[in-house]
A and B are shown apart, each in its own frame.
Chain A
Amino acid sequence: MRAAVVTFPGSNREGDAARAVKQATGRAPDAVWHADTALPAGVDLVILPGGFSYGDYLRCGAIAGRAPIMDAVRAHAARGGYVLGICNGFQILCEGGLLPGVLMRNRDLRFVCRMQHLRVERADTAFTRRYAKGQAIAVCIAHGEGNYEAHDETIRALEGEGRVAFRYCDARGVVGGAANPNGSTNDIAGVYSDNLRVLGMMPHPENLIDPLVGGVDGRGLFESLAAA
């Protein structure tokens, strides 16, 4: 698995994503700049990291979603390549047309930064094979605009096609209620593209890969990708 991490002006978790990739694959990812127009040859996985690209100006991810490198990312996805967008990266994937829907301001208007459990909705994708279906994993969230919204028919299609990757849950795996940090429709924390090779998610698995910071439940995602 050869990975590349795209950095936009205002990205700030590119180092965390690179560390998680290196731990899982033994190989540091290539660093790609937003103004580049091509990905390094032979890249299997493109990661759009968290942060505040372009200062969240206009809408979160709106300007980054139209950055020069994104044509190459769209072409990579169209070829069946893997793409992982985390937090701001998820917003960029939605704004860039790679995933449906939009991330709106959190229901309670607050930036939420805390540990958060997610229920793994399916364990048969390249991103989740090292997890069990229905498993509650502990990762963290840090966002002000994570409230996933889409047209009713889009939500129905995502649900019907098994394209919800993760839902917000409590430590016992019970979805929704107070465990939903942002008002996200159907407690959605992450969604897949129709070919299950593009994943966007608000939570940060890349920050839970070391016991030093309180858990290693994020490792499974990168280890799944490493084996894909």
Chain B
Amino acid sequence: MKARVVVTLKTGVLDPQGKAIEGALASLGVPGVASVRQGKVFDIDLAAADRAGAEAALKQACEKLLANTVVENYRIEIL
């Protein structure tokens, strides 16, 4: 089973990298970019055959390591 985990900064957490990317897009003349927040994507292959088992394993992975829940949110997508 394949899954994707997306980790993003929580609303209100300062994201200087996102700001720098936002500024770079503006200087490239890309129109209409109001704001940019950057994050991380993890593509994960799982041994679990069932969806519930996969979701449980991924939740554990996120809580234990992939996200720092002080400042980050995570989203799990089973593909």
CA distance A63 to B71 in the complex (A): 17
Q: Mark A50-77, 1 if CB is under 8 A from B, else 0.
A: 0000000011001100100000000000
Q: In chain B, residues 22-79, which have Cβ atoms closer than 8 Å to a Cβ of chain A?
A: 64-66, 68, 70-71
Q: For A213, list chain B residues within 8 Å (CB).
A: none
Pick from B13, B14, B66, B68 the residue with the most CB of A within 10 Å: B68
Q: In the complex, which range does the number of interface residues on chain A fall in?
A: 20 to 34
Contact A102 B68 (CB under 8 A): yes
Query: What is A's interface to B at a CB cutoff of 8 Å?
Result: 58-59, 62-63, 66, 95, 100-102, 104-109, 147, 149-151, 183
Number of A-B contacts (CB under 8 A): 35
* A contact face: mostly helix, strand, loop, or mixed: loop
Q: For B71, list chain A residues within 8 Å (CB).
A: 102, 104, 149
Q: Chain B nearest CB: distance from A111 CB in Å?
A: 13
Contact of A107 among B16, B64, B65, B70 (CB under 8 A): B16
Q: Chain A nearest CB: distance from B69 CB in Å?
A: 10
Contact B70 A102 (CB under 8 A): yes
Q: In chain B, residues 7-21, which have Cβ atoms closer than 8 Å to a Cβ of chain A?
A: 13-14, 16-17, 20
